[in-house]
Chains A and B, each alone.
Chain A
Amino acid sequence: MNNPDTSDERGDPTVVLEDGVAKTNDPVSSAVARPGATTRRHEPGEPPRMQIPEKLYEKRKAVHNKRIDGPFRRFKWLVMFVTLAIYYGTPWIRWDRGPFAPDQAVLVDLANRRFYMFGIEIWPHEFYFVAGLLIMAGIGLFLVTSAVGRAWCGYACPQTVWTDLFQHIDRFVDGDRNARARLDKAPWGPKKIARRGFKWSIYLAISLATGGAWILYFADAPTLFFDFFTGQAAPVAYITVGILTLTTFTLGGFMREQVCIYMCPWPRIQTAMMDEKSLLVTYKDWRGEPRGSVKKAAKNPDQFGDCIDCTQCVQVCPTGIDIREGPQIGCITCGLCIDACDRVMDDIGRPRGLIDYATLEDCEREATGGAVKSPWRTLLRPRTIAYSMIWAGIGGALLFALGTRSHTELTVAPDRNPPFMLLSDGSVRNSYTLKLRNMESRPREMEIAVEGLPEGVMWTDTIRRDEASPAQRVTVPADLVRQVRAYVAVPEGAASQQFTFRVTSLDAQRETDTVQTRFDAPEEE
């Protein structure tokens, strides 16, 4: 077992860093002693080296954020209520679309492949509208980030909203910061088990409501709600609710800020998008440092800055960071530390804004005694204006496309086998499969006409040949595609040629669509 080369006495086993190279006083292997070995050894003349940390992993420190009130906290409440109300409430909004379409305002009807959003109905082939909306959402995030920093992270992100909600549950059940920290440390006993059980069951109830609300977007909400609790809903509904309940429970209840710091790509992307002109929550260190208590500052008036090191900003932080260390990935810029600090500054009679929403540029200007620019002015700069215009441009294009889109469409597939057919009177017949698309939520009568085919007449699978004429009428059911088999015949002697099918809706809209196709006839020999 023992290596004969190293079984004797060992040198100092410490690992040291120098010039970024890890070195040891001990040979890494028995080969080191040989000439030409590449492992560097600690030379006797070199200065002592420093230790590298044993572990790169740090266990999560529980965040027990303290209650705070202030403008930012109130804004956070408002956003939380609005976003939660939208999420939980939207599936229950009704929207009358007549007898042929569902009356749910927002409905992703996967089974029938329709997407309803208030007055808009989207078919699968129009999915580019959804793609456009997603692009708008993406550019919207860019816009918000370049204008007001990580406002999305701080207020509107679902992870933030639900984490906030769960932190309020913590406070409601276990009390404020100190009580929660105490309870964490307390040994497990009946009381702690009861408290934890109660708290986690509230977590679970919220998670279930969150997962449950999701599926209501995909089916008629009241029906599905009833079916879900009577065990009649589809298995996929239960599976989806199960998965989303689990993710809400773990991500919101337990992982919380770790999602933002370690899992979410958006903070990383945002750091690349921010510059010195972006608004972010900043501690004005030139004002605050060096820190000293009020007492110390009273004794030595000119030696201390405004920060009294009360750590209120740390205590209220929902992600548990110290903003005084500067901008960092863990800061979601929710502004609660601003609320906390402003309150302390008011109490000790120093000016507000030691921690503030500011751009780095402004901070620098302020530090050197320059004039303070209004944050509103920082919002309007070429980048934000450009983003706004791109965003509005895409939105306008989508609206235009939505407003001018036709609700009537025709596709034609000619029969290729056989390409043409001789009839007993010598005329030549071709067959076509027509698809008439009616995107209105009512049955519509449509006229199919054969154009540009001399003496051409048509009939269909439901209209007999005795009634053949250049144009026929069919009724297309509400919100559906009707397939029509059309037969087109021309008298003897006609040549192969191009012609056009035209479909016209016989209502006030008189929408029309044309498709050019081919009429095949026997070659003259």
Chain B
Amino acid sequence: MANKRIDAPTGTETVGHEWDGIEELNTPLPRWWLWTFYLTIIFAIVYVVLYPAWPMVDKATAGVLGWSSRGELAKEISVADQAQQGFRDQLAQIPIERLPDNSDLMARAVAGGRAAFQVNCSQCHGSGAGGDQKLGYPNLNDDAWLWGGDLKAIEYTITHGVRWAGDDQTRQSQMPPFEGAFDDAQLNAVVDHVLSLSGKAQPNAAGAQTFADNCAACHGPNGGGGREFGAARLNDAIWLRGSDRADLKRQILNPRMGAMPAWGQRLDPVTIKMLAAYVHSLGGGEDFVEVAKDHEVKVDEQP
């Protein structure tokens, strides 16, 4: 159809079209370019056969190698898990009391615990473990512990939770509501007394009497708290639910008590050990001096 002809000066055939006297030479592609192009075609065919390529309705064609990016990720994760296996075995075997002696293992446990904390705990306790005074989530960075701050106590609390119905070994206690038990004067007096324990108000005899009659059984005669019952220490600077008179009154009349799931039902013991190490490392961790009574924690159930 076209007016193909040999162009005399170059000896090359034209493509046969003409636009206003302009013709185009049909110069052959460079050989290397052509071969590269053919190679890419071969590559594409091989690729389509071997790898997922054609989009179908719900997923692409599988390819004979069975490769998938999800499979690749799963493989990488399992490789990473295997790489950690030795460390996890070690951690499973070591009793948690001995963990601080092995500083390398402790450091790795803290690092692993940090990751697990961000996934499981930060929703309530905050990503910096700072807690929330308004909602009553304890701050885990400080040195005040309701149920004990050594590694074993922390591990127990995480495993069995606090006031968690699904676990019969859970940390359990109940502060009775004093709604209607005190008149205004009595209430004010006891609030004054509680504040006076940490030097925030003047002590008074009436308040002291009321405190001794109603509160000292759990919170201790000097407000030192009782870890057996998770009774807060009242003579320090830390207030779980606020230190205003209004906060105190509300808590006395109609106490709110926090709950925490028993993580032993959801997480494996090694992860819980790592979490305990992390929480302990936040700066307020205690040594094994005072451990609450009913802590027959079986540390070493794994081989």
Contact = CB atoms under 8 A, between A and B. Distances in A.
| Chain A complexes with chain B | yes
A480 to B, nearest CB: 13
A34 B21 contact: yes
A398 to B, nearest CB: 37
Contact of B8 (A10, A34, A421, A426): A10
Nearest to A430: B283
A344 interface: no
Tell me the dominant secondary structure on chain B's binding face.
loop
Size bracket, chain A contacts: 35 or more
A464 interface: yes
Nearest to A487: B283
B258 interface: no
B5 A3 contact: yes
A56 B103 CA distance: 73
B237 A26 contact: no
Interface string B208-250: 0000000000000000000000000100111000000000000
Contacts of A7: 5
Contacts of A22: 9
Interface string A416-445: 111001111110010100000000000000
A6 B5 contact: yes
A10 B9 CA distance: 12
Contacts of A425: 236-237
Interface in B108-146: 126-128, 130, 139, 141-144
A461 B278 CA distance: 11
Given A13-B9, A26-B8, A37-B21, A424 B237 contact: yes
Given A13-B9, A28-B9, A31-B21, A423 B126 contact: no
B194 to A, nearest CB: 15
A417 B128 contact: yes
A417 B284 CA distance: 16
Contacts of B142: 421-424, 429
A34 B281 CA distance: 93
Nearest to B19: A31
Contacts of A10: 8
B3 A3 contact: yes
Nearest to B20: A31
B238 A417 contact: no
Contacts of B7: 28
Nearest to B1: A1
B23 interface: yes
A329 B180 CA distance: 105
B4 interface: yes
Contacts of A426: 198, 236-237
Interface in B240-286: 281, 283-284
A511 interface: no
Interface string B22-44: 11000000000000000000000
A275 interface: no
A426 B7 CA distance: 97
A421 B141 contact: yes
Contacts of B139: 418, 421
A417 B130 contact: yes
Contacts of A417: 126-128, 130
Interface in B1-19: 3-5, 7-9, 18
A416 B129 CA distance: 12
Interface string A482-518: 0001010000100000000000000000000000000
B76 interface: no
B238 A423 contact: yes
B287 interface: yes
Interface string A106-138: 000000000000000000000000000000000
A415 B283 CA distance: 12
Contacts of B126: 417-418
A54 to B, nearest CB: 9
B21 to A, nearest CB: 3
B130 A418 contact: yes
A424 B236 contact: yes
Contacts of B233: 424
B141 A418 contact: yes
5 contacts: A3-B5, A24-B9, A26-B9, A28-B9, A31-B20
7 A-B pairs closest in CB distance? A31-B21, A417-B128, A424-B236, A418-B130, A426-B237, A13-B8, A3-B5
Interface of B: 3-5, 7-9, 18, 20-23, 103, 126-128, 130, 139, 141-144, 198, 233, 236-238, 281, 283-284, 287
Given A7-B5, A13-B8, A31-B22, 8 more contacts: A3-B4, A29-B22, A32-B21, A423-B237, A424-B144, A425-B236, A429-B141, A487-B283
